[in-house]
Amino acid sequence: AMNRVQLLGRVGQDPIMRQVEGRNPVTIFSLATNEMWRTGDSEVGQGGGDISQKTTWHRISVFRPGLRDVTYQYVKKGSRIFVEGKIDYGEYTDKNNVRRQATTIIA
C-alpha cells in the first residue's frame, strides 16, 4: 500500500500554529497548485486554441516537531514550495454540530 503526495505550489497565507487540546501543536497552511491546458482543435505547431487554467487549493498540516516549527517560522504567503506527504481524509464537527469532511495533506 502507498499513500504519497507531491505538490509544488504557492502558499496562500502565512501559516498558523494551532494547539489542539491534549495534542501536540500543528502548523497549518494552504497551498495553491495550477494546472494549465490548451483548449480548442488547434493543429500541432499552429499555436491555436486558448489556454485554460485551474487552481486547486490544498490544506497542509505539519505535525513533525522540527518541521512544524521551521514551517511556521520561514514559510510565508506567496512562497513557492515543494511539499511531500500523505493524504488524510478526516472528519470534524463544525460549530453547528454538522459532520464535515476535512481533507488534508500531512506533510
Domains recognised in the chain with CATH numbers: 5-36+50-106 (2.40.50.140)
pLDDT digit string (tens) for the chain, length 107 residues: 999 999 999 999 999 999 878 888 999 999 999 998 888 765 565 566 788 999 999 999 999 999 999 999 999 999 999 999 999 998 888 889 999 888 999 99
What SS3 state is found at 67?
Answer: helix
pTM of the model: 0.79
| Strand ranges inside the chain, DSSP E | 5-11, 16-18, 26-39, 50-62, 80-93, 99-106
Task: Give dist(CA 67, CA 107) in Å, integer.
Answer: 9
Task: Give dist(CA 22, CA 90) in Å, integer.
Answer: 18
Which residues partner with 99 through β-bridges?
93
Q: Which three cell numbers stand for residue 41?
A: 482543435
